Amino acid sequence: MIDPEKKFVATNAGNIYYFSHFVSKDRPTVLLLHGLSSNHTTWLYLMDVLAKNNINSIAPDLRGHGYSDMSKKRSRYRIPALRKDIELIMKNEGLKGAHLVGYSYGGYIGIDLAIANPPLVKSLVLISTNHVSPMKYSWLSFLSGSSYVFLNTLAYLLIWQKRKKYLYFEQNKSRGYWDSTFKGYLTMPLPVNFWMLSEVFRLNYAESLKNIACPTLILHGKGDIFISDREIKDMADKIRNCRVVHLESGHFLASRYQEEVAEKTLQFVNQLR
C-alpha cells in the first residue's frame, strides 16, 4: 500500500489538508473527493490501484473533516466554498486540470466545479450522488425548507463541540454501515455534519447539469435507498456526455465496494487518455 504525502493549503479560515501520490507530473492526475463524515482514507485502496497503473492521485480531507481545520462559519460549508478549497489545492499543485471522482457529498462538489470551472475538470466520476434535494423525488418535498432550518439550528446549538479523534478507515476491518459511515459521524464535529446536511436540502443542479462538458461516469448501487433509479436517469439525461453503470450494491459504494469502484474508475480514466 502506498504512503501518500501529507500537505496543506492555507486559507483565511484555516488549513485544508490533502494527501497526494505522484508517479510523474507527465501522467494523469485523479482528484478524489470523499463523502460526509469521512476523510481521505476512504480512497487509499483506489490510490494504490492508480499508483500501480502509473496515475497520480490527490485526496483532500474536506473542511471540518480529518486533519482539515474546522471553521465556525456556516458559509464555509456551502458547496461553492468547498469547491474553492479544491481549486486552491489544484493551484497549489500546479494542476491545469484533473480527473475528478466524487463520492456522495464529494460528488456535489465535483458537479459544482465542473459547472463553475470547466477547464479544471477533464472528466467526472459521480459515485452515489444525486443532483437535487433528496426530498424532490418523494412526497416529502415540502419538508426541504424546514429540514434546512432545523439542521442549521442544531448546528448553532452544538457549535462548541469538537472532533473527537481521526477515523482511519480500513475496509478489511469494517463491519457494514456502522464502521464505514456511522463512526465518522461520531468522530467529527456535529455542527459540520448538520451544516453540510442542510445544504443537501437546498441542492438543485437540475438546470445547470447541461453545462457539464466533460465525459461523465455515474456509478449507482441498485440497492441505494437514498437515490432512486429515476433520479439517476434524470441526471444522466441532463449531462451531455454521460453514461451510467449500475452495481449490485447499496449507497456506500466507495467505502464498501472498493474493488468494483476502482475497476470502473480505472477503466474510465484509461479510455480518456
Q: Mean of the pLDDT values across residues 232-237?
A: 96
* Choice among 86-95, 133-142, 197-206, 219-228 with the minimum mean pLDDT: 133-142
Across the chain, mean pLDDT equals 86
Q: What is the pLDDT of residue 171?
A: 55
Place of cell 436540502: 201
Share of the chain above pLDDT 90, in %: 61
User: Does the pLDDT at position 192 exceed 90?
Assistant: no
**Inter-CA distances, 220 with 6, 233, 260, Å:** 31, 10, 11
Q: Binning pLDDT at 50, 70 and 90, where does residue 142 land? A: very low
Q: Binning pLDDT at 50, 70 and 90, where does residue 175 land? A: low
Q: What is the pTM of this model?
A: 0.87
Q: Domains in the chain, ordered, with CATH?
A: 5-272 (3.40.50.1820)
Q: How does pLDDT run across 195-213, given as a tens digit for each residue?
A: 888 888 889 999 999 999 9
